[in-house]
Amino acid sequence: LSIEKFIMKNLYFNFFTKPNFISYAINSFPNERVQKFRKSGKLVLGWTARTLEDLEKAKKYCDNIIGEKIEILEEWTKISND
C-alpha cells in the first residue's frame, strides 16, 4: 500500500479539509474511521451499489448510496424506509 493510498483510506486529510460528507467504497466497509466520522453526525455515502448484497452492507454503514441500476436504487428506497 502506497503512502498516498494509506492516507486517503484512513481519512487523514479530513483533519485539514473538514468535509460535511464522505463517499466511500461499499466493498471497503467496515472501516473504523468512516464509522467514527458518521457517528459525529456527518453523512456517509456508499458507492457503487450494484447488487442486493451491496445494499445490505450499505444499509449497515451508509446514510445513502450511489448506484448504477435503477432496480438497485428502487430496492434501496424500500429497505432504507424499514
Going residue by residue through the chain (82 aa), what tens digit of pLDDT does each one get? 799 888 888 788 888 889 999 999 999 999 999 999 999 999 999 999 988 899 999 999 999 999 888 787 888 888 877 6
What burial class does residue 40 get, using C-beta atoms within 10 Å of its C-beta: 0-12 exposed, 13-18 middle, 19+ buried?
exposed
Closest by CA position to 65, among listed 32, 43, 40:
43
Percent over 70 (pLDDT), the chain: 99
What pTM does this model have? Answer: 0.78
- Per-residue pLDDT of 58-69, as tens digits, reads 999 999 999 888
Cell of 22: 464522505
* 17/42 Cα distance (integer angstroms): 14
Cα–Cα distances (Å) from 6 to 18, 26, 65, 81, in that order, read 18, 17, 24, 35
